[in-house]
A and B are shown apart, each in its own frame.
Chain A
Amino acid sequence: MLQEHELKTFVEGTTNYFEVAAQQPATVGSPYLVTDGTPAVHDYTGIITITGKREGIVYFTAPRAMLTVLLMKMQESDFSHENMRDLVGEVANTISGNARRDFGSEFIISVPSVVSGEKSEIPLAPGARSFVIPINWRSHSAKLVVSLK
């Protein structure tokens, strides 16, 4: 079951991602436990399935406006739907992959799957503890959701 202290690696991974990839740090809010239902998602959500020593999902969900600015900061000029999907998947993949520094190589991550649309509902891992890590970057808000047994 996911413990509060294990969230540190995801918080640090998120902070590091924005600092390095976007050259501008993000503010990460206090993680909170999901107690009812599933967290609301933004326009694009990148989902990583976790297997091996731990089971569950990690997903990064962000609004199109935030991803557009992030792409600009990366000197990317293509703001197509496909590139939004690509970026949100890459962010989820990078933060999850970086977590292996603490969780080890038996924390096996899938290739990203991506859903778009705010009405999407991402099922959390059954029997897992799920936390939301709020992310604020420039004027935009996003979330990292960690749901692990």
Chain B
Amino acid sequence: MTDKQSSRVVLITGASRGIGLAVAEAFARNGDIVSITGGRDRQALDDAVGRLRSVQPDASGAMVDAKNKAEVDGWLAATVSRWGRIDCAVANAGVINPTPFLDITEEQWDTVVGTHLKGTFLLMQGAGRVMAETKTGGSLITVSAPAALRASNGVADYASAKGGIIALTRNLSKELAPFDIRVNCISPVAETRMTDALQVYRKLDAAAWARLSPGGRMPQPHEITEPFLFLCSPGARFITGQVIAVDAGRSV
């Protein structure tokens, strides 16, 4: 049903581990050429690329600070010079550092908001320009979070950025439609280092944390990848500007 298509060129930021890597693996299993970025941990990125190449030999990766325009543009240029186009891009890179609002420093605000929101802007604009130039259309996916949809706590910087990403998604869905580019947002929940950090910050034991999920457990990243593939498939050709929570109803 995901209308398996081989050899699309798919870009995913922040895919050394967690949801980003799981999504990259899902696209690779579909036969797509994936190029990923990691921001901080070279070893983790190399390991991730190794895993992807065992599925799809054309996978590649680059160390890119998602909020650094020169680095993002350099990665995009290298990808386009090799493959000639971009079909899908997923702006997934993010950081979280749960902190009481009254204690958030300017530096942390800039890092967190910059990585999520500016990082999403840079990828959407860079990939959007390529898609518009090659006239091939495409699918852009942004990543938001339950903190943007409902009140959260301890993550004011993160929630603000994730809320901005939703507004950016909606704006782009209108503005890029003439280029046959669809733009949608997924708000996922899965067990990652981010949820580990939140669990520690909120002093919840594993059982209490699991109870927050209607399914009684937090899914692993590989269990929530299908919505990303669906939004990039022909079956989603009339879906744009949507925000889809993949969170077992947590934010409903």
Question: Do the two chains bind?
Answer: no
